[in-house]
Amino acid sequence: MKIKMSLMALLGGMVFGGAALAEPTPAMLANACAGCHGTNGLSVGPTSPIISGMASEYFVAAMAAYKKGEWPSTIMGRIAKGYSDEQIKAMGDFFAKQPFVRAAQKNDAAKAKTGAKLHEEYCEKCHEKGGSAGEDAGVLAGQWMPYLEHAMEDYTSGKRPMTKKMQKQVDQLVQDHKHAGVEALVNFYGSAK
């Protein structure tokens, strides 16, 4: 074992004459996230979101936005800056393959019912299947509610940028239903079993 390793090192040294570029495996990179986001990204909550089962493209876009400070965060931006684009892509592909298991959490049934209607009216067109499809968006159905609250607070206060399409819908929602509308939506997503 030792002999083989030193021979490999020697060969590497002779043939390539330089230190190898660090390239941790996707699992090595992703496992370091688990202390906050749960084993394989399945957060047990309540505030840090589940990131398992998230579309890789969305993960990459989110991390890029955190890295550049375009999305507000407490700690995520500081951590995102520690990874190259390639490493972020590798983590995104890793988490996309892990199952998303909906969080079991308390929610207000009446608000969730209202939220279901609001979802149909304002959100379903893009966040399909009750917010459970996540091709170019985060999975909403079964996500931890405190995380959704924070995200919506950042969206509605203008701190977190949205696509024009989403901006229009969120503005309309808030105009029509105020904060209660947002709260209802959060309860609806939190109620997904």
Could you list the residues that contact other proteins (CB under 8 A)?
1, 3-5, 7-8, 11-12, 16-25, 27-29, 31-39, 43-48, 74-75, 78-83, 87, 146, 150
8 A C-beta contact, residue 107 and residue 45: no
Tokens (6 digits) for 154: 């950042």
CB of 128 to other proteins, least distance (A): 28
Pick from 102, 133, 100, 117: nearest CA to 188: 117
Terminal-to-terminal C-alpha distance of the chain: 51
**Distances, alpha carbon 174 to alpha carbons 54, 95, 127, 141, 168, in Å:** 27, 33, 18, 20, 10
Q: Nearest distance from residue 35's CB to other proteins, in Å?
A: 5
Residue 28 Cβ vs other proteins, minimum distance, rounded to whole Å: 5
Nearest approach in angstroms of CB 61 to other proteins is: 19
Contact between residue 96 and residue 55 where contact means Cβ atoms under 8 Å apart: yes
